[in-house]
Amino acid sequence: MFLDYFALVVLVFVLLVFFYGVIAIHDIPYEISVKRNHPHQDAIHIAGWVSLFTLHVLWPFLWIWATLYREDRGWGMVSQDHDRISKLEAQLARMERQLQSQPEATTASPPEPATPVTDKEV
């Protein structure tokens, strides 16, 4: 009799550990996305729950999706054009300041088109 109750307690314990273990494993991509400040954190979290109902088919893709983004470099690899882009942005800001500091030019009427000269007039 005692062994029956002991077996029941062990069975319930194993089922609870398995249940919470599956939930914890399915939250790994979401935790990765939170750590990386991923812009699609909520979508990854919901897709993790949907993956429970699709027999874990989506889960590897969620892991990949969560690890592709990094806050410092975005979706791509290390950008070698970062310095060039920052220089261009600085140059654009300088040009905008110059345009704003220049006085407004008075709008003059456009010159009238010249009439063509023919051979008979010369």
pTM higher than 0.85: no
What Å distances lie between residue 30 and 2, 6, 71, 93, CA to CA?
A: 43, 37, 15, 38
pLDDT of 86: 81
The pLDDT value recorded for residue 112 is 67
What pLDDT sits at residue 43?
96
Per-residue pLDDT tens, the chain, 122 aa: give them. 889 999 999 999 999 999 999 888 889 999 999 999 999 999 999 999 999 889 889 999 999 999 999 887 788 765 566 777 888 889 999 999 999 988 765 555 666 666 666 666 55
Q: For residue 19, give the amino acid letter.
A: F
95 C-beta neighbours (distance < 10 Å), count? 10
